[in-house]
A = this chain, B = another copy of it.
């Protein structure tokens, strides 16, 4: 079952990101300014990082906190691709967001049809 419990996603992402960079727990800990045992507790135990430790880990690993938290699937801040649109998107209410989603979906669909003319 590939179902990763919400709280477990963090553990996996943390460990994966660390290994991807060829760091052991002690090295990551040093970079993040916290004890090695804490890193282990995060990766293996039930502990969840505090506000500050989450930031420290993300910075040490050069990933977004959203990625570590499982709120985003890409480790990098891909936000800058469509700057203004993204900025505006964040101000929308949920209803407006649906509107925008439908609108863009329509455009994409049209585009597909046009291309096959």
A residues lining the B interface (CB < 8 Å): 10, 17, 20-21, 48-52, 54-55, 58-59, 62-67, 69, 71-94, 96-97, 99-101, 103-105, 107-108, 110-112
**Which of A20, A49, A66, A75 gathers most chain B CB within 10 Å?**
A66
Known: A66-B66, A69-B65. A81 touches B97 (CB 8 A): yes
**Which of A51, A89, A94 gathers most chain B CB within 10 Å?**
A89
Whether the pair B65, A90 counts as a contact (CB closer than 8 A) is: no
CA separation between A45 and B105, bound complex, in Å? 42
Whether the pair A75, B101 counts as a contact (CB closer than 8 A) is: no
Report which of B73, B87, B89 forms a contact with A82, defined as CB distance below 8 A.
Answer: B89
